[in-house]
Amino acid sequence: MELLAVAKPGYTSLSPDRSTVASFDREGRLYAYFKAGITFRRSLASAVEARWKPGPQDEQDRLTQDAQDGSGGTPMERGQRQRRRLSPSEAGELFREVYAMAAACVPHAQGEVRERLEQEILRWTPDSLLGEAERFARVYKPISILPPDHYLSIVLQATEGCTWNRCTFCSFYQDRPFRAKSTDEFAEHVAAVRRFLGRGVLMRKGVFLADGNALALSHARLEPMFRLVRQAFPAHRIYSFVDLYTGERRPVDEWRHLVQLGLHRVYIGMETGLDELLKFLNKPGSQEELSAFVADLKQAGAAVGLIVMVGVGGVQYREAHARATLAAVARMPLGREDLVYLSPFIEHPGSVYAARRQEAGLTPLTPAETETELRRLATSLRAGGVRAARYDIREFIY
């Protein structure tokens, strides 16, 4: 074995050969595993997702299946990254494989890497790692979604659910009513998260104040929560979602105070720059109000993350959605710390949006058309000096 190993402050990485890499947090829990072109990501609750790009044999299998069932599909659709969530038994087998590989690395490891193998990594078994699901459930309610740059954040649930929760396209918080924790409850939650993460906190970057609209709370309730976060995680900036309907009602001075307490970036579901389409989505507010809100946040010193849904409204709204969205973003005083996430729209079967779309006779964009639109919007935004990035909600795992 020609072991390549890295011992960083936040993680340990082992590579026994050129096609295999495993990464572990400082508690010794598997975080990611790459083997033979497949990337496996483990969540804190020990759910495992496999992701891969289809190779020649995958393409041939798909073509054979297409010929049999007539499902078709464009080359771009066939070539997109694939993903699959492993069953608990499959996850257990994967853990067994990874930790056996780690044990085989011990005779070839030296210094701090060997010490971490013996003291952190090899104290875990497949069963104890699967048992993290129960520990996670005692600390968290289900974490439905995060911005992509916060999949490695420390999530603290100041609230549960979403204050609005009536957008026709959204299914993230349908399983729970909105509820805010008291200051004492939140303090207990913060302490429980610290115990659960342990030294794994060294791998985490930033604090994300959840759930869907935590910044909807009054300033009097948020201030002590922010102070608890700063006390527990003093080196971490704070991030959170907010909706326009709630956010525009907080004066600039209060936003500025939250920035002084550690708030760095606020994420807003812009969805579209077209007011007509916002109404179709049952999304409160207008683009004029959003522009004013973003200006307030920038005046207060906060960075902004705008989330745009690419393909929403289908073929009929495609051009109007793009023009209005680009025009709305161009009017906003965005800088280097701000960004626009472009999220391929996923229509959930049985959703209110799906029913309304069918009633209105709207034609959904194909996956290939959505990807083309995403690239077009990204190119236009970047040409205007705005940072733009992809946000695929199907790849969320925490």
List, for residues 26-67, the tens digit of each pLDDT value: 999 999 999 999 999 999 999 999 999 886 555 444 433 333
Instruction: Tell me if 295 is assigned to some domain.
Output: yes
Indicate if 175 and 100 belong to the same structural domain.
no
Q: Which of 77, 96, 130 is the last residue of a domain?
A: 130
Residues near 37 by Cβ (< 8 Å), separated by ≥ 6?
19, 52, 53, 55
The reply to whether omega before 243 is within 30° of 0 (cis) is no
- Estimate to the nearest angstrom the gap between the alpha carbon of 393 and the chain centroid: 7
Q: Assess contact for 49 and 397: CB atoms under 8 A.
A: yes
CATH assignment at residue 253? 3.20.20.70
Q: List, run by run, the mean pLDDT of 10-residue segments along the chain (398 residues).
A: 93 96 98 97 98 68 38 44 94 98 97 97 98 98 94 96 80 82 98 98 96 91 97 96 82 97 97 96 92 97 98 97 98 97 94 94 96 98 97 94
Question: From the CB of residue 271, how many other CB atoms can be counted at a distance below 10 Å?
Answer: 25
289: containing domain: 140-395
Residues 6+ apart with CB under 8 A from 98: 22, 30, 33
- pTM score, two decimals? 0.91
Separation of alpha carbons 343 and 371, rounded Å: 10
Looking at residue 348, the DSSP 8-state letter turns out to be P
Task: Tell me which residue of 250, 246, 253 sits closest to 212, measured CA to CA.
Answer: 246
Q: What is the pLDDT of residue 377?
A: 98
Residue 296 burial (C-beta neighbours within 10 Å; 0-12, 13-18, 19+): middle
C-beta neighbour count of 68 within 10 angstroms:
8
pLDDT digits (tens, 9 = 90+) for 59-110: 444 433 333 333 333 333 445 789 999 999 999 999 999 999 999 999 999 9
How high is the pLDDT of residue 70?
38
pLDDT at 56: 57
What is the per-residue pLDDT for 65? 39
Query: Do 110 and 170 fall into the same domain?
Result: no
Q: Which residue has the tokens 């995060």?
A: 146
Distance CA 398, CA 393 (A): 12
CB 366, CB 309: distance < 8 Å: no
Are 194 and 251 part of one and the same domain?
Answer: yes
Specify whether the CB–CB gap between 192 and 139 falls below 8 A. yes
> Does residue 271 sit in the same domain as residue 219?
yes
Boundary (domain end) residue, out of 130, 165, 197: 130
